Structure 1
Amino acid sequence: MKLFVRTSAFTLLFSLVLLASTLWSANVLASTQPDTYQSHVFEKTYLKVNTAQHTIHLTAYDTAIEVLYQSDKTPLPSYAIKEQAKPHAAHFQEANNELLFSTGELTAVINKSPFNIKFYHRGDLLIGEEAGYVKQLKEQGEKDIFHGFRFKLSESEKLLGAGERVLGMDRRGHRLPLYNKAHYGYTTESNQMNFSIPAVLSSKKYLLLFDNSAKGWLDLGKSTSDILQFSAVSGRASYVIFSGDSYPDIIHNYVKLTGTQPMPPRWALGNFASRFGYRSEKEVISTVEKFIELDIPLDALVLDLYWFGKDIKGHMGNLAWDKETFPTPEKMMNNLKEKGVKTVLITEPFVLSSSKKWQDAVDNQALAKDANGKAKTFDFYFGNTGLIDVFNETGRRWFTDIYQTLDKQGVSGWWGDLGEPEVHPSDTLHTLDNGLKVNADAIHNVYGHQWAKMLYENQLDLHPNVRPFILMRSGFAGSQRYGMIPWTGDVSRSWGGLQPQVELSLQMSLLGLSYTHSDLGGFAGGESFDKELYIRWLQYGVFQPIYRPHAQDNIAPEVVFHDKETQDILREFIKLRYQLLPYNYTLAYQNSTTGMPLMRPLFFENEHNTQFINNAQSYLWGDAFLVTPIVKAKQKEVEIQLPQGVWFDYFSGKKYQGNQTISLPTALKTLPVMVRAGSFIPMASTMQSTQEYSSQQLTLHYYADKSVKNSSGQMYEDDGVSVNNIANQQYEILNFSVNNESNLSFKLSHQGQYQGMPKYRDVNLVIHHLEKRPKEVKLNGRNLKVAQNDKTQAIWDATKKTFTVKFTWQHEKHGQQYLQKPITLSVK
């Protein structure tokens, strides 16, 4: 067997390396001795291995393998693996000094003596334990004793992931704290932020996740160049290996086990009005009316902490409307809904001892405890406080009662802020549902994760068929399965703050959190309005998952409160965002079913060229668009690394060959956006809010080039609201394809249906970049006359080099179903 022969050779090499390494690194106490195999038990999906020092459990999950070193009788639960995960049948073989445990593509090879586990994908080595589980690690500057794992790295491999950090795409060579913590006003460097996810994606095509929620460190070859070391103060001694044939395959396998992101409500892809913060009901209403007056689309308004108190300090935990400034909140929210605008409220997990709900929280045992069993109190910026214990039923019940009251009043979405938690003393005690008491450091990194789970499940209890909207500042591996929409924290309102935003969103997307976005325009500071910075940031926002300008209100974050030129430029971009809803909503569908990010790194295009890995200046928005934000003041041109193929400047139409770096001139009214030749881009008509959305009027853009002989696209549609549309097959997919061997031959087909689906669609198919006027056009076999008159069915525009064909795409009834009749179009 190829795999067995190869691993036997590695066993000898590993033994020589181990004997030579009497001291590992300055951070490791040299007390762990080589381990040896004693016995094993294999049962279909599961392998239990007993060694001289440990009991190790290996569990197969399709194309992933979990390894758990059992260290105590009551371990913490897995927070990363989804609740419904089912183990997968594995293959097992014992051969001489090795045990082989395989899911098919992924194989764990266990060397008996000295004990060691290596992982292979289709026979190729991915990574292996260097010392396996190590109990006595001591980290620099720490008084605590840590435990963890050590893995051997290949010389040239690059490592991505580890959550929100500003370090560059390749994070190898860094030692990263694993402790969720806000970084206020960050710019071009940060090694610790709101999401400290203990997982890395390697250029060797594996993903390694440490399923441990505790405070710790991730050393990616910093202390020892060829060693990846994970360490934590406590928690599960567990890791999971994922593999795949490509990076998207690996991400797909990762989200199959940790959970896919549910489809967001369609309105979540619209424009948000948000600031710190709206101080009165009157201000809220007038702001929304300003958007409508200026013809700028709007779908949601976000209320920061002034909704429950007129001051920044002293009111946190009230979580009830301040009736002096918001006297009729139900009327206000109903008024906004009639205008197509949803209300989103901020909430925090802290209850100040000065708040109106303090005693009620104490009486109902809702707060985390101190060593004496009393509500733990401590001071932070907002005052003296306690922390809601979301890890047990009493704390969750008290918190959800508040959410339910506000929900009945008409709140449409929730914002969970400060959920790292921002301050979380180590001696704070939390009680898990199984009765286990743990200190704050053991579960700090999953506080926001557990809070999101509570909110998500509560919203589904209240509205079983309405998709929740949950904006959260902190979470963990797998948080995406609770519909969490993260943002990149309190970024500086500066060019330095804008520069790392692509990197942050790409890195989070690689680990399933694909709706990570920034406070458009920047949040913190700023002495005066920087018009160019503001326009550039909001232009970029059109091509990121959530469009939410948000900032401290010394400078207005909303477009409507700026000068006319700013409004005029950004109105068109915000309208473009809405026109792209069919395309963007399809990206959401793809993400929900496969884990494919909405924002995609360029190295997905050329997985053999590791130079693309370092590119965080450009990214793909779906398959069709290549976006390069302008992140420097007065930048006259921008360099763009083009993947292979043919690309068109979206705004000028200029054609570029791929596989080169080009220099593109810039203009304030446009953003460097390229479109891939062969792309289909479905677009809707303009609207004031998604409440007016309809795909009955559809413009389908196709970007033609003779180099592209065949291409295809799709468009996903459903009612935009219901929870289980995909599972219940209440959706429609429009398929588009073209063959360009001799002439352009289009086919439009359809599958599926949903309640409220349009009975027909009026379609404008716009073919871009035709070299000459078509001589012959046939629609469903019928000849069309080509003219330059907009009132005709086939229109040639010689100036723009576009050809538009207008037709009605009818449904036909087949039994109880209405199916859209396929459309064929031939253009010579």
Structure 2
Amino acid sequence: MITNTELEYKGDLYPSKIVAFEQEGDSIFFHTDNKVILKVTVLRDSLIRFRFTTKGYFSNDFSYAIDKTQLHGYNFLEVTEEETYYQIQTSKVKAKIQKADLRTSILDLNDNVILEDELGFHWEESYEYGGNIVKMSKSSKDGECFYGLGDKATQLNLKGKRLENFATDQYAYSKDQEPLYKVVPFYIGLQNKQSYGIFFDNTFRTFFDFCHERRSVASFWAEGGEMNYYFFYGPKMQDVVTSYTDLTGKPELPPLWVLGYHQCKWSYYPENKVKEIASKFRELKIPCDAIYLDIDYMEGFRCFTWNKEYFPDPKKMVAELADDGFKTIVIIDPGIKIDKDYWVYKEALEKDYFCKRADGPYMKGKVWPGECNFPDYTNPVVREWWAGLFKELISDIGVKGVWNDMNEPAVMEVPNKTFPMDVRHVYDGNPCSHRKAHNIYGTQMARATYHGVKRFAYPKRPFVITRSAYSGAQRYTSSWTGDNVATWEHLWIANIQVQRMCISGMGFTGSDIGGFAEQPTGELYARWIQLGVFHPFCRTHSSGHHGDQEPWAFDEDVINITRKFINLRYQLLPYLYTMFWQYIEEGVPMLKPLVYYDQDDIQTHYRNDEFIFGNQILVCPILEPNSLGRRMYIPRGEWYNYWTNELAIGGREVWIDTKFDEIPVYVKAGAIIPKYPVQQYVGELEFDELTLDLYYKNGKENSVVYEDAQDGYDYKKGRYSFLSFRSIGKEKELIVQLHKEGKYETPYTKYRINFIGLPFRVKEIEIDNEIISFDRTNFDTEGSLVIDKEFNELHLIGW
């Protein structure tokens, strides 16, 4: 028990007893003797918001993270008063608020405690800045596990860790380094087979302590702002992640080419270098869809300009690259060079769009161009202006995507690497200092960029990628994990970061394949590409200062492995596109850590390496040098080795032998995996059949395939194709049922079905109850069947 003298010494203040309460619709207000108000809002039966103020009233309720288009509603809400507490009950949970001190516990309907306050809400007045340092502590039981928080460079399970959220340019960061580029103050707790989530929507510098300081306490706090958090109840991790993703929003479908392979370096210039890289990909038959121009394409690093010496005719170059299937993506940073002859600077200066210091002068900082001023992207007028600046790049020159970097915001040669904390921001009509706006600066830049690219790319779809992000940024942009290093440890980190980003609502993420800083060995590069093709965003990027990092910078073996795995990614494009569609339609993460996939299996709680790619492919990267095999955990169920088609029974750890040109990849029994032919870029080939790899299972399994025109917005008018397959395997037969939705006519007319693992020889085949003739000997050796795509039921009958 903490004594009062300790409390006074710490300077922490606590709510006193409840003196009044009232209910307004979905919100219940509790007032204490010492002017604290707790507002509890029931958004859904399993989603409750808790908001505290210590000043007797609430400030304007504003958040950049919450998706305003989301509908909320609950089935049941009842508030009752008991002797020592108030109870709020929905159809999923009960929340009990103690009358003595506002401490809260949340229980399921069987009265099992899901989450309860330890000290609960407390605060300390911020002497230096005014306002409060707001704190929350929860009790944690033995065996509880914690996940989430975006791209932290540490193991997946955060138990025992203390983490910090403050967007920081961490060049060449190391394992466990804090903080990093992104701020996702959302975590998932798992205890006693029940999952819940907490989203602490506070943009100030925040901290999370998962039983690090005290073994039985999980706490979070912020250097300012409000104690404002959302509680999500599972009990499945799936439900928590989906609710959080709904609350903070989902992206649009990217054009299919964005899911291809991208090549990047700091920097490809001049023009003939860019073309040389592009033609080398085509010559070596390594598929590639996008090539990036880093800061050297600009005139003295001035955004929205071109270096005419390196790129005399950008429009012509971009068009020629496009003829060869390459989309051009350019970098745009927030720092605008102070130069009275530079049109972007002049416009922003005339219109007063730059961030100012508390005492009035413009905030000035050094970045690549030298001394810069920085637009205030928290001002809607500035965002609108910024969006308009993309007209020339996108409409006239034909650039297909924009890459936002340095937007933490990063400033060079200053101790804190960023803006001074007294910089002022408009914050969409809620004026504040940089302490509050810092963590969302990058997201608001990406948002303004997205609106510009979208406006000028129309009727095609936009593509934006950002380095810094706050919860909700996924509505506008994809991201990557920043300036990593060419080491085996960083390969391990990348694997975990992308899994963690996927369950933190920000799925469209990848790492710099091969590492950004330093130079990978051929072996490390090969192992990284083998992982990277299973990440939603797939790009090689390097600082290029230690040598080249194109696939051909290494030996023949590495070139062949790179080709083999990028080919595999291009074959799996319909599978990837379907994953993406399920992410935006249903909030299902594209990569699933094993604990997400099967939280009831305690063996999964501490696994880092293995993950489920989409719904039906299990991947385990090789993360150590000189390894031709590894131990891995195969989750419960039946899985086929992708390379050998051997069946493995899961729920155990096994040793897997591999080769240099393989990593362990398994496919779930019963799955139907769609494949395209290998193309050098998306849309290169027209083809008349879709390949379906069907993995036999004794039992039922569902698989889906989403397709549309691969770009544009016709899919929003119902012009898409959604195939639902159900495979039903029995001892001597296999039934495949197909249900179709959508108005899009796919360009192919046939399916080529490869049957894998059939336990019987096929005697007869029926399509829609009609027996068809087939070449039996051919079928026995090939195991594949080509059939018209217009079928409803396929029936294989065995001997």
TM-score by shorter chain over 0.5: yes
Q: How does 1:242-641 map to 2 (within 5 A)?
A: 242-309=232-299, 315-353=300-338, 356=342, 357-380=344-367, 383-408=370-395, 409-423=397-411, 424-432=418-426, 434-463=428-457, 465-482=459-476, 484-526=477-519, 530-553=521-544, 554-641=546-633
- Aligned partner letter, 1:251: V
Compared with structure 1, are the counterparts of its residues 283 and 433 closer, same or farther at alpha carbon in structure 2 (3 Å cutoff)? same
When normalised by structure 1's length, the TM-score is 0.89
Is 1:809 aligned to 2:795, yes or no? no
Greater mean deviation of Cα atoms: 768-777 or 285-294: 768-777
How many Å apart are 1:729 and its aligned residue?
2.9
Q: What is the aligned residue count?
A: 777
Q: Which amino acid aligns with 1:806?
A: V
Residue 93 in 1 paired to residue 79 in 2? yes
Contact 1:64 1:103 in 2 (8 A): no
SS at match of 1:456: helix
Asked if 1 retains the 8 angstrom alpha-carbon contact of 2:474 and 2:505, the reply is yes
Q: 1:224 aligns with which of 214, 217, 224?
A: 214
The correspondence of residues 651-662 of structure 1 with structure 2, limited to 5 A, is 651-662=643-654
Quick one: distance in 2 between partners of 1:540 and 1:478? 26
Residue 741 of structure 1: aligned partner = 730
Residues 558 and 748 of structure 1: is their aligned pair in 2 closer, same or farther, counting only changes over 3 Å? farther
Where does residue 51 of structure 2 map in the other structure? 68
8 Å contact from structure 2 (residues 390, 456) kept in 1? no
- Judged with a 3 Å threshold, the aligned counterparts in structure 2 of structure 1 residues 274 and 45 are, in CA distance, closer, same or farther, namely same
SS in 2 for 1:449: helix
> Alpha-carbon deviation of 1:610?
3.3
- Which of 796, 806, 821 aligns to 2:780? It is 796
1:35 aligns with 2:24: no
Which residue of 2 is the match for residue 9 of structure 1?
Answer: none
Q: Is the 8 A contact 1:354 1:384 kept in 2?
A: no
Residue 490 of structure 1, CA deviation: 0.7
Find the aligned partners of 2:160 and 2:130 in 1 and give their Cα distance. Answer: 24
Percent identical: 25
Q: 5+ residue gaps in structure 1? A: 1-16, 310-314, 790-794, 811-820
Instruction: State the distance in 1 between where 2:64 and 2:570 align.
Output: 36
Report the Cα offset of residue 127 of structure 1: 1.2
Alignment-mate amino acid for residue 751 of structure 1: K
Q: Gapped runs of 5+ residues in structure 2?
A: 412-417
Q: CA deviation at 1:580?
A: 0.6
Counterpart of 1:787, as a letter, is R
Deviation, structure 1 residue 76: 6.5
Q: What's the CA shift for 1:75?
A: 4.3
CA distance in 1, matches of 2:505, 2:16: 35
- Displacement of 1:281 after TM fit? 1.5
- Per the alignment, residue 64 of structure 2 pairs with 79
Task: Return closer, same or farther for 1:176/1:381 CA change in 2, 3 Å cut-off.
Answer: farther
Map 1:726-805 → 2, pairs under 5 A = 726=716, 728-755=717-744, 757-758=745-746, 761-780=749-768, 781-789=770-778, 795-797=779-781, 803-805=783-785
Task: Answer yes or no: is the 8 Å Cα contact 1:391–1:430 preserved in 2.
Answer: no
Alpha-carbon displacement from aligned partner over 1:260-314 (angstroms, at most 9, x marks no partner): 23222111110112111111112112221221122221111111111104xxxxx
- State how far apart, in whole Å, the 2-side matches of 1:621 and 1:24 are: 50
Deviations 1:720-750 (A, max 9, x none): 2234735x43321112122222433333423
| Corresponding position of 1:709 | 699
Residues 582 and 695 in structure 1, CA contact (< 8 A), matched pair in contact too: no
| Root mean square deviation of aligned Cα | 2.5
Structure 1 residue 243: Cα displacement? 1.1
What secondary structure is seen at the aligned counterpart in 2 of 1:500? helix
Could you say what secondary structure the match of 1:578 adopts?
helix
Distance 1:39 1:621 in 2: 51
Whether contact under 8 Å (1:166, 1:188) holds in the other structure is yes
Deviation sequence 1:650-697 (CA, Å, 0-9, x none): 112233221111111121121211222222111111212112366742
Q: CA offsets per residue over residues 33-55 of structure 1, 9 Å max, x none?
A: 44211222223222222222212
Q: Which residue in 1 is equivalent to 2:139? A: 152
Q: 1:746 to 1:465 in 2, by over 3 A?
A: farther
**Residues 121 and 244, structure 1, Cα contact 8 Å, conserved in 2:** no
* 1:112 aligned residue (77, 99, 107): 99
Residue 414 of structure 2 is matched in structure 1 by: none
Question: Which residue identity lines up with residue 724 of structure 2 in the other structure?
Answer: N
Query: Equivalent residue of 1:691, what SS?
Result: coil
Which SS does the other structure have where 2:16 is aligned?
Answer: coil
TM-score, normalised via structure 2 length: 0.92
Amino acid at match of 1:178: N
The one-letter code sitting in structure 2 at the alignment partner of 1:104 is: S
Q: Write the letter of the residue equivalent to 2:732.
A: N
Farther off after superposition, 246-255 or 463-472: 463-472
Q: SS state of the match for residue 780, structure 2? A: strand
Letter matched to residue 711 of structure 1: E
The amino acid that maps onto 1:321 is W
Q: Corresponding residue for 1:814?
A: none
Quote how far apart the aligned CAs of 1:23 are.
6.7
- Give the aligned partner of residue 10 of structure 1: none
Question: Is it true that 1:678 corresponds to 2:670 in the alignment?
Answer: yes
Give the Cα separation in 2 of the matches to 1:503 and 1:588: 19
Moved more, 111-120 or 584-593: 111-120
Secondary structure of 1:154's partner? coil
> 2 CA distance for matches of 1:100 and 1:87?
21
Question: 1:365, CA displacement in angstroms?
Answer: 1.5
